[in-house]
Structure 1
Amino acid sequence: MTSTQHTCTIDSPVGPLELVAVDGALTEIHFAGTAPATQGDLDSDPVLREAVDQLTAYFGGVRTEFDLPLDGRGSEFQKRVWQALTEVPYGETWSYAQLARHIGSPTASRAVGAANGQNPLPVVVPCHRVVGTNGTLVGYGGGLDRKRVLLELEAKVRLNRDFGATL
């Protein structure tokens, strides 16, 4: 059976994001450097259209969770870590050790960090919410500046929601 792949590139506060969908599931998000936004296969793939809509709402401070069909390709351990990443609450951070304990592998902090670094769906699977044990920003495939922007966005939205302020 032949797989059908669709792509598009969107602008975001962390730079262009290239989205890839295969056979009805979002499979990859890449930080696209300076690539311009392209409609790509947006009109022909409902998963891409929904992903763009949800990412736009997330970056606009309206959405705090994603509800998309995902198919991050990796080992069973990586998939366990990636699933656990979706359980880190919006606007909060966990350490690699916390994440390792959460998946029932308390001595696997380094393996959790490696799996986190291989996350094929950044932003949607929020690997940016994982920090060093002392709370420092460490390791992010998109660079620490992007990680900082994402964490600041979530902190601002959460603060505004918790205290009823406006953006």
Structure 2
Amino acid sequence: MEVPSPVTASVTQLVERIDKRHRWPHLYSYGDVEFVVCRCRIITSVTVQTWRGTVELPSQAQSDEVIALPAQLTFAQVADALAAADCRWERLKPIEGQCGLRTLPERVDFTFATDDGPDPVLHDAGTWAHEHDCMPAAAVDAAFADDFPPEQAD
């Protein structure tokens, strides 16, 4: 998946570097969708934030618009929906304040907040750190301008 240019996709924004000591990877956001981009411009992680009550997702009809959807799903609702779709999943080891599940065999993690009431509520869903064959640094330098993405002042 290629990263949309911040010039042509006005709702896409560079949020920050993942590590202040290294130029790459970078975190971008597009509405409530966040994605991490490797220095070779491959997207290695995608997360949808759902904790705000509504989720803003990119519109397929208009590239500069977002669609707002309700996002207050419980653990039971997500588990039931996955079962109805015949999607296998496993529980993740709970930690204080949250629980989760992971789809199988393709990994999508769902994280639920457990301290907001009797039913755990979906906080986010996403994939994490896809492995890939990263281009050598010299090839990246030759393929992409050094000023993309534009750096923000710290």
Same fold (TM over 0.5): no
Q: Which has the higher strand share?
A: 2
TM-score with structure 1 length normalisation? Answer: 0.27
Q: Please say which structure displays the higher CA radius of gyration.
A: 2
**Larger helix fraction of residues:** 1
Structure-2-length-normalised TM-score: 0.28
